């Protein structure tokens, strides 16, 4: 795969700008990384603020390059989405998550649900529901131990492309199976809130851009308060993302936010470290 990447690179490079060059290079080496098992999955806990217990683990993909070290998903996920590589990559993450859960259970840990980030293209091109059904059944895990995290735009795209005459769509089918659904980066999607009526989502994750200045910015404070009030009426759980300081946590607690995720509690870590979180460790 690397050879093929190089050839492409030479043929087209005179007319390519540097951004496109980087894209092609990343695409080729990501393909290569998938084949050579250089993709890993790390986990970050979501915490119940009151009990300090881990309620969910979020799976976050990692690409470990022998020369460059860890490459951030913010660099390669958008390219994987554009090139369609997100489908095999997403499938790899799903397989790894399910095998990690099976091995934690085998080692005697009590599982919590694991949240997996799902791109719009994964919802559209592959039958995610059938795959989740197949993989969970093979490992004797309940689909309700999985949560998918979708951005608001992914939610809308699947609505447009998948809704057929029977009114079913991928997200509804996943929920019927028992899979939990979370809206990721909530508040950044510039979308209407009508989907909250149509789909019963399980939780909203308030984007960390609203949490960062929560303590000093009265607008952010008002937005977070409004999201919490709305979600409470709709009986949807709310998770604050990117909590880094005690004062942010205190502000969230005062606003009545029950769940949080962020470096204050733990950074994403290996599957072995995630198992420590499962074994009754309280955090903070």
Chain residues that interact with ligand C2E, rule: CB under 6 A = 44, 60-61, 72-74, 77, 90, 93, 117-119, 149, 184-185, 208, 242-244, 261-263, 268
Among 149, 169, 170, 220, binds Ca ion (CB under 5 A): 149
Per DSSP bridges, beta strands 39-48 and 259-260 are antiparallel
* 141 vs 136: CA distance, rounded Å: 5
Among 100, 152, 169, 185, binds Ca ion (CB under 5 A): 185
Output the smallest distance, CB 185 to ligand C2E, in A: 6
Of the candidate spans 40-48, 136-144, 229-237, 238-246, the one that interacts with Ca ion by CB under 5 A turns out to be: 238-246
Count Cβ atoms below 10 Å from residue 127 Cβ, excluding itself: 12
- First CA to last CA distance, the chain: 45
- When asked if residue 117 is in the footprint of Ca ion (CB under 5 A), the reply is yes
Of the candidate spans 80-88, 96-104, 185-193, 226-234, the one that interacts with Ca ion by CB under 5 A turns out to be: 185-193
Q: Which residue is nearest to Ca ion (CB)?
A: 149
- When asked if residue 27 is in the footprint of Ca ion (CB under 5 A), the reply is no
* 205 vs 227: CA distance, rounded Å: 10
Six-digit token string for 71: 């490459």
Q: Among residues 119 and 158, whose Cβ is nearest to ligand C2E? A: 119
Of the candidate spans 7-15, 40-48, 143-151, 187-195, the one that interacts with Ca ion by CB under 5 A turns out to be: 143-151
In Å, how far from its chain's centre is CA 175? 17
* Exposure b/e, 135-172, CB count within 10 A at least 16 = b: bbeeeebebebbbbbbbbebbbbbbeeeeeeeeebbbb
**Closest residue by Cα to residue 27 from 11, 5, 12, 48:** 5
Binding mask 193-232 for Ca ion (x = CB under 5 A): ----------------------------------------
Q: Among residues 93 and 183, whose Cβ is nearest to ligand C2E? A: 93
The count of C-alpha atoms lying within 13 angstroms of the C-alpha of 115, restricted to the half-sphere facing its C-beta, is 24
**Residues found near Ca ion in the complex (CB under 5 A):** 117, 149, 184-185, 241
């Amino acid at each position: 795969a690397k050879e093929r990447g190089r050839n492409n690179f030479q043929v087209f490079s005179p007319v390519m700008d540097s951004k496109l060059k980087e894209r092609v290079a990343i695409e080729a080496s990501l393909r290569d990384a998938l084949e050579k098992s250089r993709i890993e999955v790390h986990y970050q806990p979501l915490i119940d603020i009151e009990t300090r217990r881990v309620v969910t683990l979020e799976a976050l993909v990692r690409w470990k390059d022998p020369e460059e070290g860890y490459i951030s998903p913010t660099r390669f996920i958008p390219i994987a989405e554009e090139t369609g590589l997100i489908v095999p990559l997403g499938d790899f993450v799903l397989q790894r998550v399910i095998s990690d859960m099976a091995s934690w259970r085998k080692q005697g840990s009590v599982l919590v649900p694991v949240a997996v980030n799902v791109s719009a293209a994964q919802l559209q091109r592959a039958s995610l529901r059938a795959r989740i059904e197949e993989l969970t059944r093979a490992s004797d895990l309940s689909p309700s131990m999985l949560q998918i995290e979708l951005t608001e735009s992914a939610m809308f795209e699947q609505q447009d492309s998948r809704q057929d005459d029977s009114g079913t769509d991928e997200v509804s089918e996943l929920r019927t199976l028992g899979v939990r659904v979370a809206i990721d980066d909530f508040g950044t999607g510039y979308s209407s809130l009508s989907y909250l009526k149509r789909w019963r989502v399980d939780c909203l994750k308030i984007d960390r851009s609203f949490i960062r200045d929560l303590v000093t910015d009265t607008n952010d404070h008002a937005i977070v308060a409004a999201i919490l009030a709305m979600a409470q009426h709709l009986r949807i759980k709310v998770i604050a993302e990117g909590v880094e300081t005690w004062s942010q946590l205190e502000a969230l607690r005062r606003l009545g936010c029950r769940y949080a995720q962020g470096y204050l509690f733990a950074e994403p870590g290996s599957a072995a470290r995630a198992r420590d979180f499962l074994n009754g460790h309280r955090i903070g």
